[in-house]
Amino acid sequence: MFDGSVPEIADLASLTDAELVDAAGGWLRAENAAGARKLAVMAEIFDRRTRLDTAARELWWIDPDAAVACELAAALNVSTGMALHQTHRGLALRDRLPHVAALFAAGMISDLLVRTIVSRTYLIDDPDALTAVDAALADRVTRWAALSVKKTEEAIDALVDDTTPLRCAAPRRRPGRRPSSSAPPPTCPA
């Protein structure tokens, strides 16, 4: 599966310190690229299985989404919920964020960053705005230094705010937090 450009475990003892550091980076890129391919496969199987016509699944006891999630969960040895989350990311990359997907497939960005990008861009429903955000993220994200989770979210949100058309919408909130009852309603500039 690997092209030999990164050393195997048995070869590590013979490497210099600098070569070990390079090897760590090489394996990180390989890990990211493998993760991108796994999500792409999951998205493809999900798409194929959920596009079946009604007659092809009339005797199913569960819906196609749940059936695929169960099948993928068993293959990956993860929960059904985890399989659905991973599949969702794969579909988002393929269908909504192809430029970001290309960076992930090249191993240039991590799964953690992909998760953050997918979640922070999820509510963009304007296709043109989404295309612009995808291109802007792909252009900038590899130039960001290592950022904390909060700073990464802020950078993505700022890029989304700069790229998408101004709309009146409820303010974003962190998952798991309830909106404050004392928070003022959203306002739109005139």
pLDDT in tens, 86-111: 999 999 999 999 999 999 999 999 99
Mention every residue, 6+ apart, whose C-beta is less than 8 A from residue 76.
82, 83, 86
Q: How high is the pLDDT of residue 189?
A: 45
Confidence category of residue 186, pLDDT binned at 50, 70, 90? very low
Confidence category of residue 51, pLDDT binned at 50, 70, 90? confident
pTM (two decimals): 0.74
Lowest mean pLDDT among 13-17, 50-54, 133-137: 50-54
Contacts 24+ apart (CB under 8 A), 110-117: 110/28, 110/32, 111/32, 111/35, 113/141, 113/152, 114/35, 114/36, 114/89, 115/89, 116/149, 116/152, 116/153, 116/156, 117/141, 117/156
